[in-house]
C-alpha cells in the first residue's frame, strides 16, 4: 500500500512541478512571435522539447503527457504533422524552414497575436509505469525498510526469550542446590538427635543403677544429663528450623517449575507431538497422555534417562527392574513402579495381550500426584 500511494504521490508532485515550470517557459521569445519570424506552435514545441530534454526523471522511466491548447480549443502542442510519428518524443529533430517573406510574417504575427490574446491552456499528465527503474527503486526501498524492522523485532524478541530462559534455569539450579544442602543438613541433625537421645537413655539407666552411689557422683551425672538435654533441645530447634527452610525451598522450587510450564495450548501441542514420537519409535509400548506430560516436565538429563528406560522396556520389558508394586484393584492388572536416575519414577502395567502400557512419568516430588492419578484409573 505504501508503494502504491508513494507512486501516486510522486506522480502528483512531478506533475505539479512540471506544470509550473512549463507555464513559465512555453513562451520565451515574444518579440519574434509579434514580428512574425516564428510560428507560436513552433515556439511552444521548441520550448517544451528543450525542457523535457533537461529532465533526468524521464530517463528513470517517468512518462509525461503534455497538451497545449488555446482557450477556444485549438491544438498547439504536440504539433500534428503527417510525418509526426512520435508526437511526445522530446528527442525528435526539427527541420529548419526558410524564413517567411514580409507578407507571410505579417500573417504569422497576426495569428500569433490572436492566439496570445485568446490565452493558452496547459495540461500536464505524468505517469510512472510499474517495473521502471524509479518504481522498482521505491519498492526495493520499502522492502529493505520493513525487512530491517522485522529483523530487529525478531532479534529483540529472541534475545529477551533467551535471557528469561537463562534466568529461570539459573534460579532453578540454585533452588535445587539449596534443597540438596538443606536435605543433607537435616539428615545430619536427625542423626545427631538420635545420638543425643541414646546418650540420655544410657545416662538415665546408669543413674538408676547407681542410686546407692555417693551424692557427688549423682550430682555430677545430673549436671551432665541437663547439659545433654539442653543440646537435645537445641538440636530439636535446629531440626524444626531446617524443616521450615526445606518447606520454603520446596515451595520456591514448585513456583519456579510452574513458571517454566508452557501455556495450556502450547503444552497440549507438545504432548501430542511427544505421543506421536513415542508411538513411532516404540511400537511395543502404549503411552497415556499423563506419561507424555510427565516426561515433558522432567528437567536436565532426567529426560534422557527416562527415554533410556523406555527404550529398554520396548526392547524387552521382562528384564526391567521393578522397584515395587504400587497397588492393584480387585480384578485389575497390577501396576508397577520403576526407578531411573535416582529421583525419576515410571509407572507401568502389562496388559493381558502382553503389551506394556506406560501410565505416568514423574519424580519423587510428583509421586503423590502420580499415585492419586493411578488410583483414579
pLDDT at position 283 over 50: yes
Q: Return the domain boundaries, the chain.
A: 2-129, 151-259, 264-376
What nine digits make up the cell of 185?
Answer: 543438613
Phi first, then psi: give them for residue 317, nearest 5 degrees. Answer: -70, -15
Angle at 303 between CA 299 and CA 309, to 5 degrees: 145
Residue 359's φ and ψ, nearest 5 degrees, are: -90, -45
> In the prediction, which pLDDT does 261 show?
54
**Position 152 confidence tier, pLDDT thresholds 50, 70, 90:** very high
Mean pLDDT for 93-115 is 68
- Least confident among 146-155, 176-185, 241-250: 241-250
The more confident residue out of 33 and 290 is 290
pLDDT band at 86 (very low <50, low <70, confident <90, very high): very low
Taking Cα atoms as reference points, which of 354, 309, 349 lies closest to residue 328?
349
Per-residue model confidence as pLDDT tens digits over 326-373: 765 665 678 888 888 888 888 988 887 778 888 899 888 888 888 888
Return the pLDDT at 80. Answer: 62
% pLDDT > 90, the chain: 5
Q: What is the mean pLDDT of the chain?
A: 80
Q: Quote the percentage of the chain above a pLDDT of 70.
A: 85
According to the model, what pLDDT value does residue 153 have? 92
Whether pTM > 0.75 for this model: the answer is: no
Distance, first Cα to last Cα, the chain:
59
3-state SS string for the chain: CHHHHHHHHHHHHHHHHHHHHHHHHCCCCHHHHHHCCCCHHHHHHHHHHHHHHCCCHHHHCCEEEEEEEECCCCEEECCCCCCCCCCCCCCCCCCCCCCCCHHHHHHHHHHHHHHHHHCEEEEEEEECCCCCHHHHHHHHHHHHHHHHHHHHHHHHHHHHHHHHHHHHHHHHHHHHHHHHHHHHHHHHHHHHHHHHHHHHHHHHHHHHHCCCCCHHHHHHHHHHHHHHHHHHHHHHHHHHHHHHHHHHHHHHHHHHHHHCCCCHHHHHHHHHHHHHHHHHHCCCEEECHHHHHHHHHCCCCHHHHHHHHHHHHHHCHHHCCCCEEEECCCCCCCEEEEEECCCEEEEEEECCCCCEEEEEEEECCCHHHHHHHHHHC
What pLDDT is stored for residue 144 in this prediction? 92
Q: Return the closest-CA partner of residue 338 out of 365, 313, 302, 316.
A: 313
Report residue 88's pLDDT band, with 50, 70 and 90 as the boundaries. Answer: very low
What's the CA dihedral at 173, 178, 180, 183 to 10 degrees? -160
pLDDT of residue 237: 78
Pick the CATH number of 151-259 from 1.25.40, 3.40.50, 3.30.70, 1.10.287: 1.10.287
Top-tier CATH class for 264-376: alpha beta
The predicted structure's pLDDT at residue 89? 44
Each residue's pLDDT tens digit, 249-270: 766 665 665 555 555 667 788 8
pLDDT of residue 148: 93
pLDDT digits (tens, 9 = 90+) for 154-209: 999 888 888 888 888 888 888 888 888 888 888 888 888 888 888 888 888 887 77
76: which residues sit within 8 A by CB, 6+ positions away? 40, 41, 44, 68, 69, 70, 115, 120
Amino acid at each position: 500500500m505504501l508503494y502504491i500511494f508513494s507512486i501516486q504521490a510522486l506522480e502528483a508532485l512531478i506533475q505539479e512541478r512540471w506544470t509550473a515550470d512549463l507555464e513559465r517557459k512555453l513562451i520565451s521569445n515574444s518579440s519574434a512571435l509579434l514580428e512574425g519570424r516564428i510560428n507560436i506552435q513552433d515556439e511552444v514545441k521548441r520550448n517544451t522539447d528543450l525542457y523535457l530534454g533537461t529532465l533526468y526523471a524521464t530517463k528513470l522511466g517517468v512518462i509525461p503527457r503534455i497538451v497545449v491548447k488555446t482557450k477556444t480549443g485549438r491544438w498547439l502542442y504536440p504539433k500534428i504533422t503527417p510525418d509526426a510519428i512520435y508526437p511526445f518524443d522530446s528527442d525528435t529533430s526539427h527541420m529548419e524552414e526558410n524564413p517567411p517573406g514580409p507578407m507571410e510574417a505579417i500573417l504569422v504575427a497576426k495569428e500569433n497575436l490572436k492566439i496570445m490574446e485568446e490565452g493558452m491552456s496547459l495540461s500536464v499528465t505524468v505517469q510512472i509505469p510499474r517495473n521502471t527503474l524509479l518504481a522498482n527503486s521505491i519498492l526495493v526501498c520499502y522492502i529493505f525498510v520493513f525487512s530491517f524492522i522485522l529483523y530487529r523485532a525478531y532479534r529483540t524478541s529472541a534475545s529477551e526469550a533467551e535471557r528469561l530462559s537463562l534466568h529461570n534455569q539459573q534460579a532453578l539450579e540454585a533452588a535445587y542446590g539449596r534443597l540438596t544442602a538443606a536435605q543433607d543438613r537435616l539428615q545430619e541433625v536427625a542423626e545427631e538427635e538420635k545420638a543425643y537421645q541414646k546418650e540420655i537413655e544410657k545416662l538415665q539407666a546408669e543413674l538408676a543403677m547407681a542410686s546407692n552411689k555417693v551424692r557427688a557422683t549423682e550430682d555430677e551425672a545430673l549436671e551432665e544429663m541437663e547439659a545433654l538435654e539442653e543440646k537435645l533441645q537445641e538440636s530439636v530447634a535446629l531440626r524444626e528450623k531446617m524443616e521450615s527452610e526445606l518447606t520454603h525451598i520446596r515451595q520456591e522450587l514448585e513456583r519456579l517449575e510452574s513458571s517454566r510450564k508452557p501455556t495450556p495450548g502450547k503444552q497440549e501441542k507438545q504432548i501430542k507431538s511427544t505421543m506421536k514420537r513415542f508411538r513411532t519409535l516404540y511400537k511395543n509400548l502404549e503411552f497415556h497422555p499423563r506419561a507424555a506430560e510427565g516426561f515433558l516436565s522432567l528437567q536436565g538429563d532426567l529426560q534422557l534417562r527416562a527415554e533410556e528406560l523406555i527404550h529398554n522396556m520396548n526392547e524387552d520389558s521382562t528384564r526391567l527392574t521393578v522397584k515395587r508394586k504400587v497397588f492393584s484393584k480387585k480384578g485389575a492388572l497390577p501396576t508397577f513402579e520403576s526407578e531411573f536416575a535416582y529421583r525419576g519414577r515410571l509407572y507401568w502395567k502389562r496388559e493381558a495381550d502382553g503389551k506394556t502400557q506406560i501410565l505416568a512419568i514423574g519424580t519423587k516430588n510428583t509421586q503423590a500426584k502420580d499415585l492419586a492419578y493411578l488410583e483414579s484409573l
